[in-house]
Structure 1
Amino acid sequence: MKQKINRAGQLYSDMLTACPRKQHRDNMQVVLSCFLEALGVSRFHASTAKSPGAISRFLNYQNWSLRTLIRTIRQHALRTFQDSLRGRRGRPPLVEIIVDTTSISKEGAFVELDGWIHTLNSVRGLHVVMLYVCCGDLRLPWGFKIWRGKGSPSPTDLALRLVRQLPSEVCTRTKHVHLLADAGFSSQAFMHGVRNLGLDFTIGMRADRRTTEGHRLKDITRQQCPVTLSGLPDLQLWLYWVWLPAKKGEKRGL
């Protein structure tokens, strides 16, 4: 726990250095302090150091570099990842790369978010593709990309770009690197792209997806069964069934 607190304190200090002006650092400090209180307050009216209007102007109008802040956070995450591997004994740890799509539902008109509000999987709102790097007890959010609707790169294309943009220190520091994704990333292009990067992966599949022999995956009941999917005849896959705990009132699912 002490180590986690030290890491959080270092990240707090690093993020403040991303703002060169004292006025911006003061506003950033208030914003971070409100989040660190973890009281579930979504607005900044509780702050006594800065007015809500000053914080709003800082977040929406004042000219400070968000790219610098993102770069600072990534450098901190990379140092934390390297420190977790340094000095380890025995077998190298498993590094998991997780990609996922988070949909933030929005209703009404949002002029400021023009071009970002679209409908995906029956959800209208802002759709963000996230990438996380996990190693042991570390859970490091690394990058994100916003899906900009039909005619733009798909969420699977964005996820593949995020994986390709990972620094070499993450993918080469240990030989055990595994990618995890749900069925939304089970396209042919994504799986080929991940395999071309030399990564092993576990990806969810629709139960009605068919093999090259015409069988549906849900009809194959044997665990650890080698399969080749229709459209992917040159990619050898292994089928595993995983039972997921059901929510109250729902049937248990796969």
Structure 2
Amino acid sequence: MSGAHSLTLTGVAGDPGSAIHRLDPRAKLLAMLAITLAAVSTPLRAWPVFVACAAVLAATAIVARVGAGTVWRRARIVLPPVLLIAVLIPFMRPGGTTWSLGPLTVSEAGLAVFAALAAKAAIGTVGAVLLGATTSYPDVLRGLAGLRVPPLLTLVAGFMYRYLHVIAEELRRTRAALASRAFHPRRATDVAPLGRASAALFLRTHARGERVYLAMVARGYAGAMPELEPLRLARRDVAAVGGVLALLVAVRVAAEVAGAR
């Protein structure tokens, strides 16, 4: 299988015919944005909001039939570095009860902050993963354009994604050519062949990119690809976004009222 195909072009997983997959991409973008903002803006004392966000994401994964393994394989690229930074907070933030772990001291306030950061990072990451698993990348760009995101941003994002696969394919071919010549870099003197291969990779990628652009122009590209089926918000799309917003607002208000007592 070629590199361009081994990098899944759409990233879609689960059941493509599910109700979640068939939602308008604008509705899914708005719902994910609402969940992320709700999680990020919520203090730890309003923990029911985190539970509500997690419940919505879990229900989405179940309906879309996106397995936990798929979510974890995609989320583990982002989550470990974030948690690695956050894990230092319990040892650095004073406040509340403290516990000694050898030369280190863990504070209750630090643990609370770590828990809040971990929950926010997990919810935001899983939300993005589920969006990518239920919406193809071109549809995400169409949804962003439909939400009036500046065209330049969607244009750059689209070209970056497409040319990433061009570079990956050329890199695969370059590595295959080096391997066929029994080249296995192990010493510092192997830098020169790698440099020449990198220069050749750049030139081949540039030429391939020009061919891709000309092919796009031949298919009607003029700053944006022509749409065969314009996006239309259906009642189910509005109901899905409205339901998520209503749930998050209700839980947040209830949590704030309970915390104020």
TM-score bracket, shorter-length normalisation: under 0.3
Query: Which structure has the greater CA radius of gyration?
Result: 2
More helix by share: 2
The structure with the largest strand share of the pair is 1
Does 1 or 2 have the higher relative contact order (CA < 8 Å, sep 6+)? 2
TM-score by length of structure 1 reads 0.23
